[in-house]
Structures are given as C-alpha cells and as structure tokens.
Amino acid sequence: ETGVTQSPTHLIKTRGQQVTLRCSSQSGHNTVSWYQQALGQGPQFIFQYYREEENGRGNFPPRFSGLQFPNYSSELNVNALELDDSALYLCASSGSSGWTWEQFFGPGTRLTVL
C-alpha cells in the first residue's frame, strides 16, 4: 500500500509568482486535506476536497485554490505569492468517506518565497 506522496519536496519562488503543489492520496482514499505549517507553528487547515468537490475551507484568501482529480490526487495552487506564504505545506488523505477521522499525512512540500 502506497502512502501519501507530495511533490516537489522543496521549492523556491519569488514574491508575486504562482506555485502548484501536488499530492497523491493513499490507495483507497477519496478525501484530501491541505494544511499550511509556518515555522514554529502547528498546521493550519487550508481546505479539503471530497470526491472532486471542495468540502470545507479554512481562513485563507481566494488566491489559495485547489483541485482534486478523478483518481483523487490533488493540487494546491497559490497565486501572487507573498513572503508569509513561506511554509511547509502538508497534504493528508482520509478513507472511503468524508467521515473518516484518521488523516494520513504526506512528508510535505517546503515552500520558500523570496
């Protein structure tokens, strides 16, 4: 069974650019959640996708957007990057319904905005 994978591992961008982060969910999981973890902080919920639809959103501006594909993999897109967007971005997948509370996390993508 393959776990949650994320790409790329690290990314450096400049302010104002756009970035796309990718996540492959664990086999059999149809729900993907994205979290932002700033240095020294706990993860903050960005949004969740369930069966290709956004299923909940945290307190993040619209320049944070996402997609989920038919194979349940997901993308996180961030437009007009700001310095404060520098963080570890974590993807988590969960099981066969939006009800499953156990979320399995990937290793994260470290984004640095200069």
Partner 1 sequence: AQSVTQLGSHVSVSEGALVLLRCNYSSSVPPYLFWYVQYPNQGLQLLLKYTTGATLVKGINGFEAEFKKSETSFHLTKPSAHMSDAAEYFCAVTDNAGGTSYGKLTFGQGTILTVHP
Question: Residue written as tokens 């194979």?
Answer: 71
CB of 8 closer than 8 Å to CB of 19: no
The residue within the footprint of partner 1, chosen from 8, 16, 28, 56 (CB under 8 A), is: 56
Stretch that binds partner 1, among 11-19, 65-73, 76-84, 102-110 (CB under 8 A): 102-110
Q: Please give the full DSSP string across 11-35, using - where no structure is assigned.
A: EEE-TT--EEEEEEPPTT--EEEEE
Give the helix, strand, coil percentages of the chain, each rounded to 5.
Answer: 5, 50, 45
Closest CB 114 distance from partner 1, rounded Å: 20
Binds partner 1 by CB under 8 A, chosen from 21, 32, 90, 111: 90
Which of 13, 20, 45, 73 lies at the binding interface for partner 1 (CB under 8 A)? Answer: 45
Q: State the nearest-atom distance from the C-beta of 21 to partner 1, in Å.
A: 13
Nearest-Å Rg of the Cα atoms of the chain is 13
Amino acid identity of residue 47, one-letter, is F
Is 86 an interacting residue with respect to partner 1 (CB under 8 A)? no
How many angstroms separate the CA atoms of 4 and 105, rounded? 6
Nearer to partner 1, 47 or 78 (CB): 47
Interface ranges with partner 1 (CB under 8 A): 4, 31, 33, 35, 40-45, 48, 50, 55-56, 58, 90, 92, 94, 98-108
